[in-house]
Chain A
Amino acid sequence: MLTYEIVVIGGGPAGLAAAIEAKKNGIESILIIERDGELGGILQQCIHNGFGLHVFKEELTGPEYAEKFIHELKQMGIAYKLDTMVLDINKDKEIHAINTIDGFMTIKAGAVILAMGCRERTRGAINIPGTRPAGIYTAGTAQRFVNMEGHKVGKRVVILGSGDIGLIMARRMTLEGAKVLAVVELMPFSGGLTRNIVQCLEDYNIPLLLSHTLTEIRGKDRVEGIVIAKVDENKKIIPGTEQEFDCDTLLLSVGLIPENELSYNAGIELDPITYGPTVNEAMETSVEGIFACGNVVHVHDLVDFVTQESRRAGKNAAGYIKKEIKKESQTVHTHPEKGIRYIVPQRVRIANVGQKLDLFMRVDNVYQDVYMVVKINDKEIKRIKKKHLAPGEMESLEIQKDDLVCEEGSMISILLEKEGA
């Protein structure tokens, strides 16, 4: 049986940053396991720019961002296995993995870092009516086909869902000579970053149809057209608002879900809102010594935050191996209230908080001119003014250690309040 002090599952930006940070914190024996043929994760297909402004203070494309970390990792001599799939893990931190060179392996780890990223929701997950012809892809699959395989995906395209991948693909397919007829979004607002709406849709005059849904897919062997209709506040179709599009391709950009089959089977507690493991301030899951970071915990829109979170996971996993983490501590919980969908981390051991505690969250709707209010057991400790909040943009806030006056079982809650309320 192979043994390592730390095993990282997934070689995307999360896994890379976590492994590098663990090594910087004195851990020598580290292994990254990646099922793909190269390191870098989803970044290798994200050829657009917009990565790295926080971490590197420059705007990089996905592959450039990944290459900086891959280079550092190789220089540090951290071991990795490619084309290797992790099949399962258990609470004793035993990992079963398989590849064509080593065959089936059992690997024993002192600590595990989960960094498997996320996968796209598919058509099955959202119930689309009509036939099942060819020409329907998830946006990420289309991105991989176009950017890595060099295939043309279609000539007349409609995109369902306005998440970032859909917006990025609207521009990409336009540049590749396709006609993108519309981006159709069920909600009254877009799920993507505002900058992507400007530079991917407005720049190319691609209409964004909010509060619309797909009602029919036409075509037997290949998509020949689709029908959409407007929906009311209750997302019910408004009769008579149907519109037809003559298209050969439909891209689905209807959301991402953390990839947590491994976590679930290992008995790790998952958060029903994020679909990722619940974690504490150290990015440790409900199973001692198993850490998690990046999109496997909650879907990030900025890779910079993935990197920051993963460095924390790597540092703490190293601290766990070196027995520097204080396990005995008052534990408090975070609790999303009015306007907030979720908060990461879900648990905080006060004794391990340094100068400040960082919390990450998403709101449930678009808000203008509101206050984000932080309370400990109903006592307000912080209030931050926000001009603009949207579900597509992750928010974060800091709580100073001195403000964390808590006892065992205390609750840190965050909510939104209207200005003047």
Chain B
Amino acid sequence: MKSKEIICIVCPNGCYLEIEKKGDEYVVRGNKCPRGKIYGVKELTNPTRVVTTTVKIKDGKLKMLPVKTRDPIPKNKISACMRAVDKIEVKPPISVGDVLVQNIAGTHVDLIASRSV
């Protein structure tokens, strides 16, 4: 297989990766750290992203609570996840890291709070 060039987005370094399939193995070049290799292989087989957004806060000084999926979810589940998040309203007190929804949109990933209120 011809090699494929992608940009690693795991961290802001944005390394230019070159990925080549050799039999069942993927060879990744250009990554400055091991996370780039894992990302490169995943991007070709099952691309995922962490979703960050906000949910409404009921009777709080702050109106919106920033939230995120604890782990990356498949790219094709992002809009289902956003629709599920839209329905939620939360009530303080909330601590950073609190689980707000388990298994959001059937991804097996939890939606958690990004700050305390």
* Chain A hits for B52, CB < 8 A: 47-49, 61
CB proximity to A under 8 Å, residues B30-50? 49-50
Q: Report the minimum CB–CB distance from B17 to chain A (whole Å).
A: 11
Q: Report the minimum CB–CB distance from B18 to chain A (whole Å).
A: 12
| Residue tally, chain B, CB below 8 Å to A | 28
Residue of B nearest to A193 (CB): B12
Tell me the complex Cα distance, A148–B115, Å.
12
Looking at A7-15, A96-104, A195-203, A372-380, the stretch in contact with chain B turns out to be: A195-203
Task: Find out whether the CB atom of B64 lies under 8 angstroms from the CB atom of A148.
Answer: yes
Q: Report the minimum CB–CB distance from B7 to chain A (whole Å).
A: 5
* Chain B hits for A147, CB < 8 A: 54, 64, 66
Task: Find out whether the CB atom of B66 lies under 8 angstroms from the CB atom of A47.
Answer: yes
Q: Is A194 located at the chain interface by the 8 A CB criterion?
A: yes
Q: Report the minimum CB–CB distance from B105 to chain A (whole Å).
A: 13
Residue of A nearest to B69 (CB): A49
Task: Find out whether the CB atom of B12 lies under 8 angstroms from the CB atom of A53.
Answer: yes
Residue of B nearest to A302 (CB): B12
CB proximity to B under 8 Å, residues A322-363? none
Q: Report the minimum CB–CB distance from A89 to chain B (whole Å).
A: 31
* Chain B hits for A48, CB < 8 A: 52
Q: Is B82 located at the chain interface by the 8 A CB criterion?
A: yes
Q: Report the minimum CB–CB distance from A179 to chain B (whole Å).
A: 14
Q: Looking at chain A, what size class is its interface with the partner chain? A: 20 to 34
Q: Is B9 located at the chain interface by the 8 A CB criterion?
A: yes
Tell me the complex Cα distance, A343–B56, Å.
43
Q: Is A133 located at the chain interface by the 8 A CB criterion?
A: no
* Chain A hits for B16, CB < 8 A: 387-388
- Tally A-B pairs: CB < 8 A: 76
Tell me the complex Cα distance, A87–B55, Å.
36
CB proximity to B under 8 Å, residues A173-202? 175-176, 193-195, 197-199
Q: Report the minimum CB–CB distance from A409 to chain B (whole Å).
A: 37
Tell me the complex Cα distance, A195–B64, Å.
26
* Chain B hits for A36, CB < 8 A: none
Task: Find out whether the CB atom of A194 lies under 8 angstroms from the CB atom of B11.
Answer: no
Task: Find out whether the CB atom of B82 lies under 8 angstroms from the CB atom of A150.
Answer: no
* Chain B hits for A64, CB < 8 A: 96, 114-115
Task: Find out whether the CB atom of A149 lies under 8 angstroms from the CB atom of B7.
Answer: no
Are A61 and B12 also in contact (CB < 8 A) when A47-B52, A47-B53, A148-B62 are?
Answer: no
Q: Is A67 located at the chain interface by the 8 A CB criterion?
A: yes
Tell me the complex Cα distance, A175–B82, Å.
7
Task: Find out whether the CB atom of A150 lies under 8 angstroms from the CB atom of B63.
Answer: yes
Task: Find out whether the CB atom of B53 lies under 8 angstroms from the CB atom of A195.
Answer: no
Q: Is A301 located at the chain interface by the 8 A CB criterion?
A: yes
Tell me the complex Cα distance, A228–B18, Å.
35
Q: Is B77 located at the chain interface by the 8 A CB criterion?
A: no
Tell me the complex Cα distance, A393–B63, Å.
34
Task: Find out whether the CB atom of B7 lies under 8 angstroms from the CB atom of A194.
Answer: yes
Q: Report the minimum CB–CB distance from A202 to chain B (whole Å).
A: 9
Task: Find out whether the CB atom of B7 lies under 8 angstroms from the CB atom of A198.
Answer: yes
Extra inter-chain contacts (18) besides given A49-B68, A61-B68, CB under 8 Å: A47-B52, A47-B54, A47-B66, A47-B68, A53-B11, A67-B115, A147-B54, A147-B64, A147-B66, A148-B63, A148-B64, A150-B54, A150-B56, A195-B7, A195-B11, A198-B6, A203-B75, A393-B14
Q: Which residues of A contact B (CB under 8 A)?
A: 44, 47-50, 53, 59, 61-64, 66-67, 146-150, 175-176, 193-195, 197-199, 203, 301-302, 387-388, 393
Q: Which residues of B contact A (CB under 8 A)?
A: 6-12, 14, 16, 49-54, 56, 62-64, 66, 68, 75, 78, 82, 96, 114-116
6 inter-chain pairs at a CB distance below 8 angstroms, sorted by A residue, are A47-B53, A47-B68, A61-B52, A149-B64, A195-B7, A198-B6
